[in-house]
């Protein structure tokens, strides 16, 4: 009898230990911490490089002179069987620019890029509530998800983030639908206006048609891309934004051909044509109905988790939007960027 009891006790302890180990193992898989850091060097090739006479493209990020900081990005996420959350924190100049329209706390150190919880209602429906980066456009805030280090005009003047609730619906294996209600665009902590925006996205096999009806503007956006071969990819972004009450807006298109020449090196070009309707203010000339063509050639060299990106960029505007070395206004600006991005 004693022998039997000892065996039962031993088996029970083994069962408890196995259960605790399995539970700990599952928990470790659900909770994850990822992120990145980035820094860069930027120099104008045909314009001054001192801060007093500094000139740069009118797009967001990577616009500071000399050696400069991007941001530190820490993303904590927890994935349960039905529910989960994401807390995406940013520190540094790029992060501060990303939350520029936070109405109360950005000046005192708001560090939240995204903060949301979600519920997988079924295999085909997910509800998300909180603050999340925009669904419009080809580029994003984090440099790890963009091929080019500097960003496009279309990205810079489309929305950055939304706070609200959205439903992501898988209609079939290829078709998807997103419907959402948000605060005014880029007002992230709360709603100071009492107005709301409505968004929708229809997706088919990696191609997305996006629509955003904001109290102050309406935007239609197409984002997609195609693998033309095993080594060659072509990304596409086109958008049209119209401000309310004939306040102008913008339109544009950008192509992103990218060629992988080896397992560690890829070269890509972003060619963008961007047009202001009225004096929207994106390009910087202050002239109504102006335009800019921007060509950005980027190399991407991967060393483990570190990516080195040398970049040449030429912005050519229809009106005087920049300065040259003689401090005279100029229609063109050429610049060089060398970026280092580490992801974990």
For residue 289, the model assigns a pLDDT of 85
105: confidence class by pLDDT, cuts 50, 70, 90: low
Kindly tell me if the per-residue pLDDT of 12 is higher than 60: no
By the 10 Å C-beta count (0-12 exposed, 13-18 middle, 19+ buried), 148 is classed as buried
Cβ atoms of residues 252 and 259 within 8 Å: no
Query: What is the model's pLDDT at position 7?
Result: 45
User: 266-294 pLDDT, tens per residue?
Assistant: 999 999 999 998 767 777 666 778 899 99
Of 20-29, 207-216, 321-330, the range with the lowest mean pLDDT is 20-29
Instruction: Report CA-CA distances (Å) from 216 to 171, 195, 212, 278, 326.
Output: 31, 10, 11, 15, 40
| Cα 343 to Cα 300: distance, rounded to the nearest angstrom | 14
Q: What is the pLDDT of residue 6?
A: 47
pLDDT at 96: 86
pLDDT confidence tier of residue 28, bands split at 50, 70 and 90: low
Which two tokens mark 68? 């400069």
Q: Out of 2.30.110.10, 2.40.50.100, 3.40.50.1820, 2.40.160.10, select the CATH number for domain 31-343.
A: 2.40.160.10
pLDDT of the residue at 8: 42
pLDDT at 67: 97
What are the extents of the domains in the chain?
A: 31-343
Section 74-103 average pLDDT: 89
Give the pTM.
0.87
CA 277/CA 307 separation, integer angstroms:
37
pLDDT at 11: 46
Residue 336's contacts (CB-CB under 8 Å, 6 or more residues apart) are 42, 43, 45, 310, 311, 312, 313
Which two three-digit tokens encode residue 35? 């992120």
Euclidean distance between CA atoms 83 and 130, whole angstroms: 14
**Average pLDDT of the chain to the nearest whole number:** 89
- Give residue 194's region: left, alpha or beta (phi > 0; psi -120 to 50): left
Q: Is residue 107 pLDDT above 90, yes or no?
A: no
Residues 6+ apart with CB under 8 A from 186: 100, 101, 102, 159, 160, 161, 162
């Amino acid at each position: 009898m004693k022998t039997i009891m000892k065996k039962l006790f031993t088996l029970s302890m083994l069962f408890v230990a196995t259960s605790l180990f399995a539970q700990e193992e599952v928990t470790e898989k659900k909770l994850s911490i990822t992120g990145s850091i980035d820094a860069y060097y930027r120099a104008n090739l045909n314009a001054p490089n001192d801060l007093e006479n500094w000139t740069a493209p009118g797009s967001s990020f990577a616009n500071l002179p000399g050696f400069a900081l991007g941001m530190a990005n820490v993303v904590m996420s927890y994935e349960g069987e039905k529910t989960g959350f994401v807390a995406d924190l940013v520190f540094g100049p790029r992060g501060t620019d990303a939350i520029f329209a936070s109405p109360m706390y950005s000046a005192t150190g708001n560090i939240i890029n995204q903060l949301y919880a979600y519920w997988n209602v079924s295999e085909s429906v997910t509800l998300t509530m909180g603050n999340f980066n925009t669904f419009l456009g080809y580029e994003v805030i984090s440099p790890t998800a963009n091929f080019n280090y500097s960003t496009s005009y279309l990205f810079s003047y489309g929305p950055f983030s939304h706070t609200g609730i959205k439903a992501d619906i898988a209609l079939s294996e290829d078709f998807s639908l997103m419907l959402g209600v948000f605060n005014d665009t880029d007002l992230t902590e709360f709603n100071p206006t009492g107005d709301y925006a409505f968004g929708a996205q229809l997706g088919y096999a990696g191609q997305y048609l996006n629509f955003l009806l904001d109290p102050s503007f309406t935007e239609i956006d197409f984002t997609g891309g195609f693998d033309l071969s095993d080594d060659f990819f072509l990304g596409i972004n086109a958008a049209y934004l119209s401000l309310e009450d004939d306040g102008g807006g913008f339109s544009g298109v950008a192509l992103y051909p990218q060629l992988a020449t080896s397992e560690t090196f890829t070269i890509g070009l972003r060619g963008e044509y961007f047009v202001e309707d009225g004096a929207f203010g994106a390009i910087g000339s202050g002239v109504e109905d102006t335009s800019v063509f921007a060509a950005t050639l980027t190399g991407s060299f991967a060393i483990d988790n570190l990516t080195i990106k040398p970049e040449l960029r030429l912005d050519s505007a229809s009106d005087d939007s920049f300065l040259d070395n003689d401090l005279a206004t100029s229609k063109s600006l050429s610049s060089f960027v060398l970026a280092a991005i580490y992801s974990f």
